[in-house]
Homo-oligomer: A and B are copies of this chain.
Amino acid sequence: MSERISEAEWQVMEVLWRDSPLTALDVATRLEASGWSLATVKTLLSRLAAKGALATAEDGRRYLYSPAVDRAAIAGGESRRLVDRLFGGRPAPLVAHLAERGELSSADIAELEALIRELKQ
């Protein structure tokens, strides 16, 4: 549904968007760097399944988890929220901020330029 996905949950979704279906253990393994215990990963998986962000398929007595929401849709929604909240809905100031903070590589700039050219038609 349209429930929000928290930051920790997002990391779990990332794993499954990259590769699915996976078992809880698989997901935990791929999140080793996070330092979370298996129990924590299970909790996050359950919460995500409960809010409809993940689909579960039974595989014997365990589940295989797969994303049930589109990454692009969620990312788009979150972006929209942030731009609305921080910049009154205008994206240029956001880009300007990133630029000011030296967060934009020349590759980023080239990418943006190409995108703008495309948008202009």
Contacts and interface: CB of A to CB of B under 8 A. Distances in A.
Interface of A: 7, 10, 72, 75-76, 78-80, 82-83, 85-87, 89-101, 103-104, 108-109, 111-113, 115-116, 119-120
How often does this chain occur in the complex, in copies?
Answer: 2
A7 B85 contact: yes
Contacts of A116: 109, 112-113, 116
Nearest to A96: B115
Given A108-B92, A113-B120, A82 B82 contact: yes
A86 B97 contact: no
Given A109-B119, A109-B120, A112-B112, A80 B101 contact: yes
